[in-house]
């Protein structure tokens, strides 16, 4: 992976306690086993924080994508935003 960035109307960071608390609310109650993966992901994001950008996908993605290193294969991923 050569580069990564996040784009969201309200980006949440792994360093902020309020943001982490908000992210933990996305797990269904009682699914304690599923909590391990987000905790590991948060630890990774704290160690290697991505660049987070506040913006709207249709309006701001082209400019953000243009910042990717030349020669890299650009992959845009989100689990639900374009569904």
Mean pLDDT, residues 9-35: 82
Give the model confidence (pLDDT) of 24-40 as tens digits. 887 888 877 777 788 88
Question: Can you give the pLDDT at residue 14?
Answer: 86
The tokens describing 79, both together, are: 């689990």
Query: pTM score > 0.85 for this model?
Result: no
Mean pLDDT, residues 11-31: 83
Q: Centre a 10 Å sphere on the Cβ of residue 8 and count the other Cβ atoms it contains.
A: 15
Q: Centre a 10 Å sphere on the Cβ of residue 7 and count the other Cβ atoms it contains.
A: 20
Give the model confidence (pLDDT) of 49-74 as tens digits. 889 999 998 899 999 999 999 999 99
């Amino acid at each position: 992976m050569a580069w990564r960035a996040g784009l969201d109307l309200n980006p949440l960071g792994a360093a902020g306690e309020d943001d982490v608390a908000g992210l933990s609310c996305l797990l269904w109650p009682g699914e304690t086993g599923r909590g391990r993966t987000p905790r590991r992901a948060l630890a990774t994001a704290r160690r290697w924080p991505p660049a987070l950008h506040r913006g709207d996908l249709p309006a701001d993605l082209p400019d953000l994508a243009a910042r990717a290193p030349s020669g890299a294969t650009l992959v845009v991923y989100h689990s639900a935003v374009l569904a």
